[in-house]
Amino acid sequence: MRESWRWFGPNDPVTINDIRQTGATDIVSALHDVPIGEVWTVEAIAQHKALIESCEPDQSPLRWTVVESIPVHESIKLGTSEASQYTRNWIQSMENLARFDIRTICYNFMPVIDWTRTDLNHRLPSGAYALRFDQQKFAAFDLFILQRAGAEDDYSIEEREAARQAFEAMSEEDRQVLTRNIIAGLPGRMTDSYSIDDFRQALAQYQAVDASVLRENLLGFLAEVVPVAERLNVKLAIHPDDPPRDMFGLPRIICTADDVAQLFELQPSRSNGITLCVGTYGSRPDNDLPAMAHRFGERIHFAHLRGVLRDRDEQRSFVEASHLDSDIDMVEVIRALLHEERRRTRSGDSDNPIYIRPDHGHLMLDDIGKAVNPGYSSIGRLKGLAEIRGVVRALSHS
Ligand code: DNO
């Protein structure tokens, strides 16, 4: 397994030299400044790669090996007439990356919004801070701030009443923060940042797109992309929808083990793989993560390792927990990934590593009060990486 670390580029408060100190060897990055849908040029990739890889002879080298993510333009998800041009652009970006031997590409197919949380500073009993998704606050936003047409149908009478109470308990500032968290997007998002009106318009475009249309559009996209990926030995790693369920009446189609199985059945190429985002899949009680890691091992090209603790009485709400202490048996997940790696080595496929990264971390110690990308401060992720590294070492030893 190769230890990687996500870097958001020159504006990331965590620098490349900081990352070097963590002991990670590989960088996960993207050209965040290129507008969604445009081609990543050879020059822009070369420049970004140089920022990551140039170092003094006595420094530990870092390599840019994983892209997270090349954004998929909304026209592709919607299946509009512009989709084929934007798919060609996506493929061109992939070809340009492969010229630099960057061959593991994470992407996602979430309509309108990327990953979402309601609280970015949830205080833990330890005094550190975590990201949280609170279903009641989410419903309060949907029903009373966004006032989405038809939203009432998605909630029971009790849920609507609880959401009303949550809404009434919020100050004006709380409401603004909640709105920003949800529609302005979080670090690394691959969708636009919206105002409330733009957001309503973006949702309206999906009125005729249900799960089966969205799946068709994903398969159409892959039908173009996969043959080129195979030729270039590029590994595609779709990231699940986070949180993994329909939201705002939008279909979300990469949420469960069945969704992944169906994707592989309909597009069997081995280049068509997944990012096993343990925290995302694990925020549903019906996803058994060690079982998924075993079952889909061959197709796991990239893994985000983090845990969640779901609320006991509302399983759709969760706090991002410590990497090893959560509802997910992380040790068993890592055991399954190591097992898969040994299988690859035995079958002569050792040049096909699984990249892992500590996903998100608590905001803690000296990072508190600093400018950080929520979830992506350095000390919390370093703690996660150190814990994961310990598990990998111990399991590899035995
Ligand atoms: C959050 C992330 C997402 C993810 C993209 C993948 O921390 O895992 O930003 O990078 O959605 O395409």
CA distance linking residue 31 with residue 41, whole number of Å: 10
- Name residues contacting ligand 1 (CB within 6 A): 68-69, 106-108, 114-115, 188-190, 239, 277, 304, 360, 375
Given the residues 192, 359, 362, 367, the one annotated as active site: 359
Q: Give the model's pLDDT for residue 297.
A: 98
Q: Which long-range contacts (CB under 8 A, 24 or more apart) does 167-175 make?
A: 167/140, 167/143, 170/137, 170/140, 175/145
Q: Is 304 a catalytic residue?
A: yes
Q: Give the model's pLDDT for residue 156.
A: 97
Q: Is 153 a catalytic residue?
A: no
Residue type, 158: E
Going residue by residue through the chain, which has 398 residues, state the pLDDT in tens, using 9 for 90 and above. 999 999 999 999 999 999 999 999 999 999 999 999 999 999 999 999 999 999 999 999 999 999 999 999 999 999 999 999 999 999 999 999 999 999 999 999 999 999 999 999 999 999 999 999 999 999 999 999 999 999 999 999 999 999 999 999 999 999 999 999 998 888 888 888 888 999 999 999 999 999 999 999 999 999 999 999 999 999 999 999 999 999 999 999 999 999 999 999 999 999 999 999 999 999 999 999 999 999 999 999 999 999 999 999 999 999 999 999 999 999 999 999 999 999 999 999 988 999 999 999 999 999 999 999 999 999 999 999 999 999 999 999 87
Q: Would you say residue 247 lies in a domain?
A: yes
Q: Would you say residue 156 lies in a domain?
A: no
Q: What is the pTM of this model?
A: 0.97
- Ligand 1 centroid vs 361 CA: distance in angstroms? 14
Which residue, chain included where needed, has tokens 């630099």? 100
Given the residues 122, 239, 323, 362, the one annotated as active site: 239
State whether residue 310 is helix, strand or coil: strand
Residue type, 253: I
Class of residue 387 by CB neighbours under 10 A (exposed 0-12, middle 13-18, buried 19+):
middle
Q: Is 339 a catalytic residue?
A: no
- List, in order, residues 6 or more apart from 170 with CB less than 8 Å away: 137, 140, 178
Q: Would you say residue 291 lies in a domain?
A: yes
CA distance linking residue 308 with residue 291, whole number of Å: 17
State whether residue 290 is helix, strand or coil: helix
Q: Give the model's pLDDT for residue 187.
A: 85
Beta strands in the chain (DSSP E): 2-6, 26-29, 63-68, 104-108, 119-123, 129-133, 235-239, 272-277, 300-305, 307-310, 318-321, 355-358
CB contact at 8 A, 276 and 294: no
Q: Would you say residue 192 lies in a domain?
A: no
Q: Give the model's pLDDT for residue 194.
A: 87
- Ligand 1 centroid vs 264 CA: distance in angstroms? 21
Q: Which long-range contacts (CB under 8 A, 24 or more apart) does 290-296 make?
A: 290/329, 290/332, 290/333, 290/335, 290/336, 291/257, 292/257, 292/260, 293/332, 293/333, 293/336, 293/337, 293/340, 294/336, 294/339, 294/340, 295/257, 295/261, 296/257, 296/260, 296/264
Q: Would you say residue 380 lies in a domain?
A: yes
Given the residues 277, 301, 355, 362, the one annotated as active site: 277
CA distance linking residue 229 with residue 95, whole number of Å: 8
Q: Is 281 a catalytic residue?
A: no
The whole-angstrom distance between residue 14's C-alpha and the CA centroid of its chain comes to 19
Give, using CA atoms, the residue closest to atom 9 of ligand 1. 188
CB contact at 8 A, 241 and 253: yes
Neighbours of 360 (CB within 10 A): 28
Q: Could you check whether the bond before residue 69 is cis, i.e. omega within 30 degrees of 0?
A: yes
Q: Give the model's pLDDT for residue 171.
A: 97
Number of domains in the chain: 1
Structural domain that includes position 284: 2-115+209-397
Q: Is 48 a catalytic residue?
A: no
Q: Would you say residue 35 lies in a domain?
A: yes
Q: Is 255 a catalytic residue?
A: no
CATH of the domain at 223: 3.20.20.150
Q: Would you say residue 270 lies in a domain?
A: yes
Residue 185: both structure tokens together: 């997007």
Q: Would you say residue 230 lies in a domain?
A: yes
Hey, which of 66, 70, 116, 190 would you mutate to test ligand 1's pocket, going by the most ligand atoms within 8 Å of its Cβ?
A: 190
- Ligand 1 centroid vs 280 CA: distance in angstroms? 10
